[in-house]
């Protein structure tokens, strides 16, 4: 029993999703027009924003297609994605941040691939069986493929634990260098709500799909229609690998409610989860969360500039241990540092 058959109208979902994504894109473009009121190299400061579009693009291309690309990519990966500076500062905070940022990023990528496999490939005339047979991404066809369930579960759990640590640091530990304000808290609460509602949605989906008419939670691959779980995926079927959602479903299953009840619960939770995700997407560009998008870009560019400055001067700024003499610098002719 799948969402569509059980009454969760996926057409409405995709329409609303497309509108939300469109709105997100429009917001980004709108923000860009505001940013372009700032100065751009080679254009008079007070010129209209639209006159700065092409010079700005030109500047970006000039940076990208130059010897600066490699140091920027390196910084993007090391400082932007792996967050080296935070790692150097605090392993504990790095772990928290990477749990939230990393799992959110990977879950987003996986969801996008799933959307392509499930919705778009069949639109192009590919059969569900053929789509499910594509190596690696094919199994993403269904969340109950064991490794998909496991990966989703681990990432969801990491997000949940990460958010718990964030909440602990903010509201219990009250780290003195943190500045908590109500506007920031909106994002924190939205992310927490996404993590919780995601796991509940998963549990209700399992219950709605795998509860017998007599109210027994007894999962088996045959309970799903063939077009939703092609036979090629049967050997990989294993929803129990999604241990948190599965465990929760098993627990709730002890209530022995009818599949219709679970379906109603799924309906409510699915749309609630979707509305929260959409709200986050809508609020994203105007919130503190914008750093997720801009942080890696800015740190790549700034790290590259710092790298150039250090290479140009050949002078090290890394602090030396106090109370000791610095190593003797060998005598060099001329300016020495240039």
Partner 1 sequence: MTKTYKKVNLAHFTLRQMMEMEACTRCGECIAACPTYAEAQSEEIHPLNKIARIKDFWKAGHLGFLARLFGLHPPSKEELEAFSKGVYRCTLCARCHEVCPVQIDTRALWIAMREQLVSWKLYPELFNMLRDRVTTQYNISGDDNANRLVWTQNMEHVPEGLDRKQGAETVYFAGCVGSMYPRVYGVPQSLAQILERAGESFTTLGGEEWCCGFPLEIAGMGSEVLAMARHNVESVRALGAKRVVTTCPSCYHTWAHEYPHLLGKPLGFEVLHATEMVAGLIERGKIELHPVEQKVTYHDPCDLGRTSGIYDAPRRILQAIPGIQFTEMADNRAMSLCCGGGGDAEMADPELTAAVSKRRIQQAQESGATIVVSACQQCVRTLGEAARKNRIRMKAMDVNEVVWQSMNN
The whole-angstrom separation of Cα 303 and Cα 299 is 6
Cβ proximity to partner 1: between 98 and 143 the closer is: 98
46 binds partner 1 per the rule CB under 8 A: yes
The H-assigned helical ranges of 172-289 are 182-210, 243-253, 259-283
Gap between the Cα atoms of 42 and 59, Å rounded: 9
Q: Does 57 bind partner 1 (CB under 8 A)?
A: no
> Is 295 one of the binding residues for partner 1 (CB under 8 A)?
yes
Q: How many residues bind partner 1 (CB under 8 A)?
A: 65
Q: Please say which residue, 76 or 270, places its beta carbon nearer to partner 1.
A: 76
Q: Are the beta carbons of 138 and 132 closer than 8 angstroms? A: yes
Residue located via tokens 């700024």:
317
Q: Least distance from C-beta 322 to partner 1, angstroms? A: 4
Shortest spacing between CB 51 and partner 1, in angstroms: 13
DSSP string, 106-150: HHHHHHHHHHIIIIIHHHTT--HHHHHHSTTTGGGG-TTBHHHHH
- When the beta carbons of 14 and 189 are compared against partner 1, the nearer one is 189
Q: Looking at residues 314 to 333 of the shown chain, list those that interact with partner 1 (rule: CB under 8 A).
A: 315-326, 328-329, 331-333
Shortest distance (Å) from residue 337 CB to partner 1: 5
The residue among 67 and 324 lying less far from partner 1, judged by its C-beta, is 324
C-alpha separations of 93 from 77, 99, 307 in Å = 19, 10, 25
Binding of partner 1 at residue 51 (CB under 8 A)? no
Residues 226-285 touching partner 1, rule: CB under 8 A, are 283
Q: What are phi and psi of 145, to 5 degrees?
A: -65, 135
- From the list 9-17, 81-89, 123-131, 202-210, the region that binds partner 1 by CB under 8 A is 81-89
Q: Which DSSP category does 213 fall into?
A: T
Q: How far is CA 247 from CA 78, 195, 236, 239, 240, in A?
A: 37, 16, 19, 10, 8
C-beta atoms surrounding 94 within 10 Å: 17
The answer to whether the beta carbons of residues 304 and 68 sit under 8 Å apart is yes
- Whose tokens are 């003195």? That residue is 176
For 230, residues 6+ apart whose C-beta sits below 8 A from its C-beta are 128, 129, 132, 133, 141
Query: Which residues within the stretch 148-187 sit at the binding site for partner 1 (CB under 8 A)?
Result: 175, 177-179, 183-184
Least separation, in Å, of the C-beta of 338 and partner 1? Answer: 7
Could you tell me the CA-to-CA distances from 97 to 90, 100, 158 in Å, in that order?
11, 5, 10
SS3 label, residue 302: helix
Residues within window 83-142 making contact with partner 1, judged by CB under 8 A = 83, 85-86, 89, 93
CB of 95 or CB of 287, closer to partner 1: 287
User: Among 113-121, 210-218, 256-264, 287-295, which window interacts with partner 1 (CB under 8 A)?
Assistant: 287-295
Q: What 3-state DSSP class applies to 9? A: coil
Site pattern 15..44 for partner 1 (x: CB under 8 A): -------------------xxxxxxx----
**Of 9-17, 117-125, 207-215, 286-294, which segment contacts partner 1 by CB under 8 A?**
286-294
Q: Which chain residues interact with partner 1 by CB under 8 A?
A: 34-40, 45-46, 52, 56, 79, 83, 85-86, 89, 93, 175, 177-179, 183-184, 283, 286-288, 290-291, 294-295, 297-299, 301-303, 305-306, 309-310, 312-313, 315-326, 328-329, 331-338
């Amino acid at each position: 029993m799948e969402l569509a058959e059980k009454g969760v109208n996926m057409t409405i979902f995709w329409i609303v999703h497309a509108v939300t994504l469109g709105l997100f894109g429009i917001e980004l473009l709108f923000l860009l027009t505001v940013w372009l009121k700032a100065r751009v190299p080679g254009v008079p400061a007070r010129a209209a924003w639209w006159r700065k579009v092409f010079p700005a693009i030109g500047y970006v291309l000039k940076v990208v297609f130059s010897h600066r690309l490699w140091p920027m990519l390196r910084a993007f990966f090391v400082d932007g994605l792996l967050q080296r500076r935070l790692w150097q500062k605090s392993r504990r905070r790095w772990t928290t941040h990477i749990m939230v940022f990393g799992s959110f990023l990977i879950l987003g990528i996986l969801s996008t691939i799933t959307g392509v496999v499930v919705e778009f490939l069949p639109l192009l005339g590919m059969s569900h069986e053929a789509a499910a047979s594509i190596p690696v991404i094919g199994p993403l066809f269904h969340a109950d493929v064991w490794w998909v369930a496991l990966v989703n579960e681990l990432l969801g759990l990491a997000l949940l634990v990460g958010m718990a640590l964030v909440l602990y640091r903010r509201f219990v530990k009250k780290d003195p260098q943190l500045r908590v304000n109500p506007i920031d808290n909106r994002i924190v609460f939205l992310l927490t709500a996404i993590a919780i509602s995601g796991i509940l949605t998963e549990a209700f989906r399992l219950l709605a799909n795998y509860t017998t008419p007599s109210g027994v939670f007894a999962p088996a691959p045959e309970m799903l229609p063939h077009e939703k779980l092609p036979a090629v995926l049967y050997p990989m079927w294993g929803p129990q690998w999604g241990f948190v959602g599965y465990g929760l479903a098993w627990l709730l299953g002890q209530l022995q409610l009818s599949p219709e009840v679970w379906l109603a619960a799924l309906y409510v939770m699915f749309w609630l989860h979707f509305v929260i995700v959409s709200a986050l997407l809508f609020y994203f560009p105007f919130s503190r969360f914008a750093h997720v998008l801009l942080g890696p870009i800015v740190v790549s560019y700034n790290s590259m500039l710092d790298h150039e400055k250090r290479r140009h001067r050949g002078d090290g700024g890394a602090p030396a241990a106090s109370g000791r003499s610095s190593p003797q610098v060998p005598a060099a002719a001329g300016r020495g540092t240039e």
